[in-house]
Structure 1
Amino acid sequence: MKLVTVLMLVALPLYCYAGSGCAVLEEVVEETIDPSLSTTEYLAAIREYVSDDATAKAAVELKQCFLNQSNETLNNIRVMQVISIFGSEDYRERSEINCLLL
């Protein structure tokens, strides 16, 4: 089951790299870390990327892991996501990134 989760997390960045645009990845990550979205709603939102029951179960387990985290941890994950998108630049000084963090 862990292998399915790892493969799912690896497949999304590759999907973006293939030319579809990283808006897909950003949307899925935001849905994953959104504490107001239940596991059922999350699964419905990512249904397009879920091919079988094993993947659905892994996605629900992944979402549940994030539901168990504090808001501070979820905000730190958002910051990490911004850093990974914009690289090692001084992201705190860029106004568009500050807007993303709000």
Structure 2
Amino acid sequence: MKLVTILMLTALPLYCYAGIGFDILDDVVNMTIDPDVDVTEYISNMQEFSPGKETEKAFTFMKECFLPQSKETLEKVQELQQAIYSSFWCVRY
């Protein structure tokens, strides 16, 4: 779980720096860590980014990693997300 989170959040500065799709990425990250969004709803919202069954399985795995986490852990992920957004690379965007 921690490795998946780190890999996902490590990619954020690259998207920020590129300035492309940052709002979309922000929505996807927020939807991924939101405990009120179930897997079915998450997959239906991610349908436009899913070219096939393998990607859908990866999205399902990603969402299922966050579902059993405590509220405190999810808050820490959001804090990390905000720290990345406030970083040197993202502050311009």
When normalised by structure 2's length, the TM-score is 0.74
The answer as to 2:43 corresponding to 1:59 is: no
Please report the TM-score for the alignment, with normalisation by the length of structure 1.
0.68
Structure 2 gaps of 5+ residues are: 89-93
* 1:15-39 Cα distance to aligned partner (Å, 9 max, x none): 6654434111110000000000000
Question: How much does 1:81 deviate?
Answer: 0.3
How big is the alpha-carbon RMSD for the aligned residues of Structure 1 and Structure 2? 2.5
Greater length-normalized contact order (CA 8 Å, ≥ 6 residues apart): 2
What are structure 1's unaligned runs of at least 5 residues? 89-102
Question: Which residue number in structure 2 is paired with residue 24 of structure 1?
Answer: 24
* Cα offsets for 1:80-99 (capped at 9, x unmatched): 000011117xxxxxxxxxxx
State which structure, 1 or 2, has the greater radius of gyration over its C-alpha atoms.
Answer: 1
Provide the residue aligned with 2:43 in structure 1. 43
The structure carrying a bigger helix percent of its residues is 1
- Structure 1 partner of 2:91: none
Identity %: 39
2:72 maps to what in 1?
72
